[in-house]
Chains A and B, each alone.
Chain A
Amino acid sequence: MSILNANSPASASPASADGAPSQGLWVDKLYFAYDKVTVLEDISLTVKEGEFVSLLGASGSGKTTLLRLLAGLERPAGGRISWRGQAVTGPSLQRGTVFQEYSLFPWFRLRDNVALAVTKAAPGRSKNECRKMADDYLAMVGLGDAGKKYPHELSGGMRQRGAIARTLALGSPVLLMDEPFGALDPANRIRLQELLLGIWMESFPRRTVVFVTHDIDEAIFLGDRVLILGSSPGRIIGEIKLDFSRPRSSAGLFASDQFRSVRAEISGYYSRDAYRQMHAGLYVTSSGEGI
Chain B
Amino acid sequence: MGIKKSERAFISPAPKNSRLFSVLYSLRGLTLFALALALWGSASWLLPAKHQYLFPAPWTTALALWESLPELLRSTWSSFLILIPGYFLAVVLGAGWGVVVGSTKWLQALFIPFARVAAPVPPTVYVPYAIALLPNFRSSAIAIVLVAAFWPVFLNSLAGTVAVSERHRDNARVLGFGPFEYLRLVAFPAALPFIFSGMHVGLGMSFIMLTVSELFGASSGLGRFVQYYADFADYPRMVAGIIYTGLVTFLSMTALGSLERRVIFWPH
Tell me if B's interface is mostly helix, strand, loop or mixed.
helix
State whether A106 and B171 are in contact (beta carbons under 8 Å apart), knowing that A92-B176, A116-B185 are contacts in the complex. no
- Verify if B173 is at the interface (C-beta below 8 Å from A): yes
A/B interface sample: 26 pairs, CB < 8 A: A72-B173, A73-B174, A101-B167, A102-B165, A102-B167, A102-B168, A103-B167, A103-B171, A104-B171, A105-B168, A105-B171, A105-B186, A105-B189, A106-B266, A106-B268, A107-B189, A107-B190, A107-B266, A116-B185, A117-B175, A120-B177, A150-B265, A151-B266, A152-B266, A152-B267, A170-B175
- Verify if A181 is at the interface (C-beta below 8 Å from B): no
Least distance between A108 CB and chain B CB atoms (Å) = 8
- Verify if A157 is at the interface (C-beta below 8 Å from B): no
Roughly how many angstroms separate A170 CA and B177 CA in the complex, as a whole number?
12
A73 touches B173 (CB 8 A): yes
Tell me if A's interface is mostly helix, strand, loop or mixed.
loop
- Verify if B231 is at the interface (C-beta below 8 Å from A): no
A245-277 toward B: CB 8 Å interface, digit per residue (1/0)? 000000000000000000000000000000000
Roughly how many angstroms separate A72 CA and B174 CA in the complex, as a whole number?
9
A contact residues vs B (CB 8 Å cutoff): 71-73, 90-93, 95-97, 99, 101-108, 116-117, 120, 150-152, 170
- Which chain B positions have C-beta within 8 A of A99? 167, 170-171
- Which chain B positions have C-beta within 8 A of A150? 265-266
B176 touches A91 (CB 8 A): yes
- Give the size of the chain B interface in residues (CB under 8 angstroms): 19
Roughly how many angstroms separate A73 CA and B174 CA in the complex, as a whole number?
8
Residue of B nearest to A172 (CB): B174
Residue of B nearest to A163 (CB): B171
Other A-B pairs beyond A93-B176, A150-B266, 15, CB < 8 Å? A71-B174, A73-B170, A73-B174, A91-B176, A95-B174, A97-B174, A99-B171, A101-B167, A102-B168, A104-B171, A105-B185, A107-B266, A117-B175, A120-B177, A151-B266
Residue of B nearest to A95 (CB): B174
Most A-side CB within 10 Å, residue of B175, B185, B189, B268: B175
Least distance between A172 CB and chain B CB atoms (Å) = 9
Most A-side CB within 10 Å, residue of B171, B189, B190, B192: B171
Roughly how many angstroms separate A56 CA and B170 CA in the complex, as a whole number?
22
Among B140-184, those with CB < 8 Å from A are 165, 167-168, 170-171, 173-177
Roughly how many angstroms separate A106 CA and B165 CA in the complex, as a whole number?
12
- Which chain B positions have C-beta within 8 A of A170? 175
Roughly how many angstroms separate A100 CA and B149 CA in the complex, as a whole number?
40
- Which chain B positions have C-beta within 8 A of A116? 175, 185
B234-268 toward A: CB 8 Å interface, digit per residue (1/0)? 00000000000000000000000000000001111
Least distance between B153 CB and chain A CB atoms (Å) = 19
- Which chain B positions have C-beta within 8 A of A95? 174
State whether A91 and B173 are in contact (beta carbons under 8 Å apart), knowing that A102-B167, A105-B189 are contacts in the complex. yes
Roughly how many angstroms separate A116 CA and B182 CA in the complex, as a whole number?
12
Roughly how many angstroms separate A96 CA and B171 CA in the complex, as a whole number?
10
- Which chain B positions have C-beta within 8 A of A152? 266-267
Among B183-202, those with CB < 8 Å from A are 185-186, 189-190, 192
- Which chain A positions have C-beta within 8 A of B175? 116-117, 120, 170
Least distance between B241 CB and chain A CB atoms (Å) = 42
Least distance between A64 CB and chain B CB atoms (Å) = 11
